[in-house]
A and B are shown apart, each in its own frame.
Chain A
Amino acid sequence: EAGVTQSPTHLIKTRGQQVTLRCSSQSGHNTVSWYQQALGLGLQFLLWYDEGEERNRGNFPPRFSGRQFPNYSSELNVNALELEDSALYLCASSRAGQSYNEQFFGPGTRLTVL
């Protein structure tokens, strides 16, 4: 059973640019969450998708957006990049209807904004 995968693994952008990060869910999972992990810090909740719908959103500006596709894969888009957007971006999938406690994380995409 394939786990959660993310691409790319690393990315370097400059201020003002836009970036798209991708996530493939684990087989059988239909929810995806995105988290931002700044260096040395905890995970900050970004977005949660269930059956293609955005169900919940963390305290991030609208330039952070995403979507979930019919095959349950997902994208995270960040517009007008700022230096403080530099972080590890993690996606996690889980099976809807369960407690949502056990989320399966990908290895993350390391974004550096110069």
Chain B
Amino acid sequence: GESVGLHLPTLSVQEGDNSIINCAYSNSASDYFIWYKQESGKGPQFIIDIRSNMDKRQGQRVTVLLNKTVKHLSLQIAATQPGDSAVYFCAENFASGSARQLTFGSGTQLTVLP
């Protein structure tokens, strides 16, 4: 069946460094890929999405890269800050009949070190 998974469960980076969080997906029919951030005690928060016909999209301090050849998605965070410490989930959005569904990966815990 379809699945979205992550290469690494945890990632520690020094404040000010760039972070790269990776994700593998298996559903080639997904229309969009999305990154969410979940801080402790809160619900996930949308960060950025990318359409399946694109390979790169930039936001504020974040860049998402999509490699459809190897079914790989990554989130790059520039100049990582303490407030970036959270669990990051990738998700894919695909049509399920007339409905849509988001399938989430298991998450990567990002810790920003002082």
Report A's interface with B, CB cutoff 8 A.
Answer: 4, 33, 35, 41-45, 48, 50, 55-56, 58, 90, 92, 99-108
Contact = CB atoms under 8 A, between A and B. Distances in A.
Nearest to B90: A42
Given A55-B99, A101-B34, A41 B93 contact: no
Interface class of chain B by DSSP: strand
A96 to B, nearest CB: 10
Contacts of A90: 43-44
A48 B98 CA distance: 12
Contacts of A58: 101
A102 B49 contact: yes
Contact of B93 (A92, A99, A107): A99
19 contacts: A42-B89, A42-B107, A43-B44, A45-B101, A45-B102, A48-B99, A50-B99, A55-B98, A56-B96, A56-B99, A56-B100, A92-B43, A99-B93, A101-B49, A101-B93, A101-B102, A103-B44, A105-B43, A107-B43
A90 to B, nearest CB: 5
